[in-house]
Amino acid sequence: MTDADCVFCDIVAGEADALVVDETAETLAFSPLDPFAPGHVLVIPKAHHESLFDVPADALATVTEHARTLARRLRGGERGFDGANLFNDSTSYQSVPHLHLHVVGRRADDPDLFPETGYDGDREDAHDAVTAALEADGDRDASANERESVK
pLDDT at 127: 83
Q: Tell me how far apart the alpha carbons of residues 32 and 35 are, in angstroms, rounded to a whole number.
A: 5
Q: How confident is the model at residue 115 (pLDDT cuts 50, 70, 90)?
A: low
Higher pLDDT, 23 or 118: 23
Rg of the chain on CA atoms, in Å: 18
Mean of pLDDT values over 124-149? 67
Cβ(45)–Cβ(9) below 8 Å: no
Q: Tell me how far apart the alpha carbons of residues 25 and 33 are, in angstroms, rounded to a whole number.
A: 23
Q: Tell me how far apart the alpha carbons of residues 106 and 89 are, in angstroms, rounded to a whole number.
A: 18
* Mean pLDDT of the residues in the chain: 84
Beta carbons within 8 Å of 100's beta carbon, 6+ residues apart = 8, 42, 43, 44, 88, 89, 94
- pTM for the predicted model, two decimal places: 0.81
Pick the range with the lowest mean pLDDT from 23-27, 66-70, 104-108, 138-142: 138-142
Query: Which conformational region is residue 118 in: left (phi greater than 0), alpha (psi within -120 to 50 degrees), or beta?
Result: left
